[in-house]
Chains A and B, each alone.
Chain A
Amino acid sequence: MKVSIYRYNPDTDREPTMKEYEVDTQGKDLMVLDILALVKEQDESLSYRRSCREGVCGSDGMNINGKNGLACITPLSEVAPGVKEGKKPLVLRPLPGLPVIRDLVVDMGVFYEQYEKVQPYLQNQSPAPAIERLQSPEERAKLDGLYECILCACCSTSCPSFWWNPEKFLGPAALLQSYRFLADSRDDATEERLSRLDDPFSLFRCRGIMNCVSVCPKGLNPTRAIGHIRSMLLERGV
């Protein structure tokens, strides 16, 4: 089958180019990450990130035939009809909207800064008890669908509002994490957290287009989390 990969090495290239490779899958429905390993055997100079190879570390987010996803848990058969059979090329590009360091590796600095901006850690002013802080199963259930985020950036880099205003809009991933702490019964910094989101950009630049939801490899829903924060802001402001 044919694989077309975005190549750029700052040492030697002025502009990125798409490079074609021929890979023999022996008809197997391999994961995209396996294909990358096969290509790398042919061409050592190809760089990409990878670690757990099972979809939990979030290293290998990339744009696969137009859609962001994790290479390690995207089988060829799910990329697009005809790709596995070799009728259509597999096209791999770096995550959109972030500066490319090399090949499929992007500079995620902006993305991590957004994460840090929401103060992604539990805040509680009361003295800690000798055991755990009690939390009912119902309260804990509110964190489901939030804490599982792996920071792969598939969502944020599929979001046009992120593309246009990465410095001002926090992006779906950071906002999901913001809500993860707003929703935690053990956290008491709600007011402070909300007041930092109440401007026209940080949160409200979300237009509800749901690209984030449609690409999240963990099936999470940042759009809904943003909606919940908006409701909290509304309740607080009116």
Chain B
Amino acid sequence: MVTSVTSLGRNGLYDWLIQRVSAVVMGVYVIGLLGYLLAHPDLDYGTWAAFMGSLPMQIANTLLLFSVAAHTWVGLWTVTTDYLTRLALGGAATGVRLVAQALIGLLLLVYILWGLLMIWGGA
């Protein structure tokens, strides 16, 4: 059993599930949104803003935002623990990895706040 404090689910299965569930959310959203855009080739602001401002879309967007953040965290956490290791960087690896993970985390936090403001700020 390998333990790791920085993994999201603190457990392989939960990380894995988070990755899958968030992927499904994003997949459905992206396909749906692309469909909408294809169906509205001459989209104007009014229609667009009304569509995105509706409660279902607000909920969908919020869900998307958190899915993106969770998916990205698990994915990039995996990437950092693959490449930023003692094997590749020697003794400084743990420090470098923690800094990288902190930066990623911080950016994701900013994205979430920005996104939340966008979705709910107008309401």
Q: A164-B83, A165-B82 are in contact. Are A233 and B4 (CB under 8 A)?
A: no
Q: Which A residues lie within 8 Å of B12 (CB)?
A: 197-204, 233
Question: Does any Cβ of B come within 8 Å of A2's Cβ?
Answer: no
Q: Main SS of the interface on chain A?
A: loop
Bound-state Cα–Cα, A237 to B78, Å: 21
Q: Which A residues lie within 8 Å of B78 (CB)?
A: 200, 205
A residues 192-211 touching B (CB-CB < 8 Å): 195-205
Q: Which B residues lie within 8 Å of A161 (CB)?
A: 82
Question: Does any Cβ of B come within 8 Å of A234's Cβ?
Answer: yes
B residues 83-107 touching A (CB-CB < 8 Å): 83, 85, 87-88
Q: Which of B15, B83, B85, B88 contacts A204 (CB 8 A)?
A: B15
Seen from chain A, the residues whose Cβ lies within 8 Å of a Cβ on chain B are 160-161, 163-166, 168, 195-205, 230, 233-234, 237-238
Q: Which A residues lie within 8 Å of B14 (CB)?
A: 237
Give, as a whole number of angstroms, the nearest-CB distance from B36 to chain A: 32
Q: A165-B82, A199-B1 are in contact. List 13 more A-B contacts (CB 8 A).
A: A160-B82, A163-B87, A165-B81, A166-B87, A168-B2, A197-B1, A198-B1, A199-B11, A199-B12, A200-B9, A203-B12, A204-B12, A238-B17
Question: Does any Cβ of A come within 8 Å of B16's Cβ?
Answer: yes
Give, as a whole number of angstroms, the nearest-CB distance from B50 to chain A: 39
Question: Does any Cβ of A come within 8 Å of B47's Cβ?
Answer: no
6 residue pairs, one from A and one from B, having the closest CB atoms:
A204-B12, A201-B2, A164-B82, A200-B7, A200-B12, A168-B2
